[in-house]
Amino acid sequence: MILRDKPGLGDLLFAMQGSVFPIILPRLIGLSAIAAGIVAVDRFVLELPHPATAPFAVFGIALSLFLGFRNDAAYGRWRDGRRLWGQIIADMRALGRDCEVFIQDQELRHRVLRLALAFVHLHRVNLRKLKDNGQARDWCGRDFSDAPHPPDAALNALATELATAARDGRLDGFGQKALTERLASIGLAQAGCERIATTPLPYVYSLLIFRTTYLYCLLLPLALLEPAGWMTTVFVAVVAYVFFGLAEVTEELAHPFGETVNGLALDAMCRTMEIGAAPHLGITPPEPCKPKDYYLS
């Protein structure tokens, strides 16, 4: 996630961090070169058709509507992902308070909270499809990497700790109910995140958008040959930048848990939960994650 103030003129012109410009630059160069070739053929080899600009205006409006619809769907996924992780943060803070109220055994309380922190790191790793970097093991001293679903294995281990405590009389009925409901809320947010991660936007949307954008940018030089001349290459590059840029932004937003510059800052949110649990564990809270070159991972 990019964190920076409102961009000034220099940032608007030269900032690359957080921009999709480096990604789409090869396409812009290719389409500009094709536009220049079309102008050269029309000027020096063979006069090409000069269609009116009105059909291209209608074509452009339709393409804008497609892009707007896809952008709305992609941002909805990003927004839902942030809301679900916000719910996990709130539940983790509440879990710490619940443990203080209902679990008198300090050792048990610490095991429960450490398993919960292991879960959030395993959940992050699972969403990003990364290899386990050992942070979960550092918190709880257990390795869940061989489990079919490591985040679920951590939650199951936490539930087992609570069930054992209840059987031993170290957790009363009210505590069982409160803590079980808290785990259910965390599990619901987890399932929501996995729904987003495993159900991408329909492929037909991407196919339609990119195919139509290429078609529009390849035909546009014909409409600009007479009014724009050699400036056709510039106008094609600007139009391609707008359409391909927006299409790439929606690609990143549609995958909110990725490690792209516009993805959610899952590392920072996990650190927020560690800070919230530290007082209940009797340890010094770690430092919050800070952005590097405006990027917060």
Mean pLDDT of 186-211: 90
pLDDT at 278 over 90: yes
Burial 163-183 (b: 16+ CB within 10 A, else e): eebbeeeebeeebeebbeebb
Q: Which residue has the higher pLDDT, 102 or 22?
A: 102
**pLDDT given for residue 101 in this prediction:** 93
**pLDDT given for residue 9 in this prediction:** 65
**pLDDT given for residue 123 in this prediction:** 95
Kindly indicate the confidence band of residue 14, based on its pLDDT and cuts at 50, 70 and 90: low
pLDDT at 267 over 70: yes
Residues of the chain with pLDDT > 90, as a percent, come to 54
pLDDT at 261 over 80: yes
pLDDT at 277 over 70: yes
pTM score, two decimals? 0.88
Residues 6+ apart with CB under 8 A from 217: 31, 236, 239, 240, 243
Give the residue from 247, 249, 217, 214 showing the smallest Cα distance to 232: 217
CA dist., res. 70 & res. 115, Å (int): 39
pLDDT at 147 over 70: yes
| Mean of all residue pLDDT scores within the chain | 89
DSSP string, the chain: -B---S--HHHHHH--TT-SHHHHHHHHHHHHHHHHHHHHHHHHT-PPP---SHHHHHHHHHHHHHHHHHHHHHHHHHHHHHHHHHHHHHHHHHHHHHHHHH---HHHHHHHHHHHHHHHHHHHHHHHTPPP-SHHHHHHS---TTSSSHHHHHHHHHHHHHHHHHHTTSS-HHHHHHHHHHHHHHHHHHHHHHHHHHSPPPHHHHHHHHHHHHHHHHHHHHHHHHHHGGGHHHHHHHHHHHHHHHHHHHHHHTSTTSSSTTS--HHHHHHHHHHHHHHHHTSPPPPPP--BTTB--
pLDDT at 16 over 80: no
pLDDT at 8 over 80: no
Chain-centre distance of CA 208, in angstroms?
22
Yes or no: say if 294 and 17 are a contact pair by the CB < 8 Å rule.
yes
Yes or no: say if 222 and 92 are a contact pair by the CB < 8 Å rule.
no
**pLDDT given for residue 146 in this prediction:** 87
Q: At what angle do helices 232-253 and 54-102 cross, to 10 degrees?
A: 30
Kindly indicate the confidence band of residue 196, based on its pLDDT and cuts at 50, 70 and 90: very high
**pLDDT given for residue 273 in this prediction:** 96
Residues 6+ apart with CB under 8 A from 92: 116, 117, 120, 186, 273, 276, 277
Task: Go through the domains of the chain in sequence order and give each one's CATH number.
Answer: 82-201+265-282 (1.20.1440)
Kindly indicate the confidence band of residue 297, based on its pLDDT and cuts at 50, 70 and 90: confident
Q: Which residue has the higher pLDDT, 59 or 100?
A: 100
Residues 6+ apart with CB under 8 A from 250: 67, 70, 71, 73, 74, 75
Mean pLDDT of 46-58: 81
Mean pLDDT of 146-164: 94
**pLDDT given for residue 248 in this prediction:** 87
Burial 244-270 (b: 16+ CB within 10 A, else e): bbbbbbbbbbbbbbbebbbbbbbbbbb
Query: Quick count: other Cβ atoms within 10 Å of Cβ 122?
Result: 27
- Tell me the two tokens of residue 164: 């054992």
pLDDT digits (tens, 9 = 90+) for 73-125: 999 999 999 999 999 999 999 999 999 999 999 999 999 999 999 999 999 99
Mean pLDDT of 169-180: 92
